[in-house]
Amino acid sequence: MVYLDTSSLLKLVWLEAESEAVADRVSREDTVLVSSLTELESVVQITAAHLRGDYSLARSRRLRKELDELLDSAPFERRALSGEVFKLSMIQHSRYGITGFCRTLDRLHLAAMQELGVNHLITNDTHLATTARVLGFVAETPV
């Protein structure tokens, strides 16, 4: 079982250099957890791309539909997060201050992993991968 963050999930929806590597890596898992945080952040990124002019409104809607269809298929499993994730994030931040370069959403992803009881992360965000390793998680960056 692995946790998939937004940077890798989006590579499965729109084509980028690492898309094939992420798809290959995900295909080898029985269960890929996608938290409500990852799903929200992905939808926000799709909307932001439209608002920047990267996609038409119609294309943005198709991407959101593709995202929903992807998350409803194997091996993906959507998982809701509780408000406890914020407390866990603060505890991680307090214990591991050396990871000060870690952004807020990244900290929340790491807390989500703890809440969901998963130790393995697939991410294309090198800062998140580095911090995950400091916290004792296994982090892969498919390229």
What digits encode the pLDDT tens for the residues 69-86?
A: 999 999 999 999 999 999
Structural domains in the chain plus CATH codes = 2-140 (3.40.50.1010)
Q: How confident is the model at residue 32 (pLDDT cuts 50, 70, 90)?
A: very high
Mean predicted confidence (pLDDT) in 42-57: 96
pTM: 0.93
Q: Residues 84-140: pLDDT tens digits?
A: 999 999 988 888 765 556 788 999 999 999 999 999 999 999 989 998 998 899 999
pLDDT of residue 94: 83
d(CA 5, CA 27): 15
d(CA 13, CA 23): 10
Structure tokens at 100: 């000060």
d(CA 18, CA 26): 12
Crossing angle of helices 36-51 and 104-116, rounded to 10°: 150
Report whether 1 contacts 137 (CB < 8 A). no
pLDDT of residue 101: 66
d(CA 75, CA 22): 13
10 burial (CB, 10 Å; 0-12 / 13-18 / 19+) is: buried
Neighbours of 95 (CB within 10 A): 10
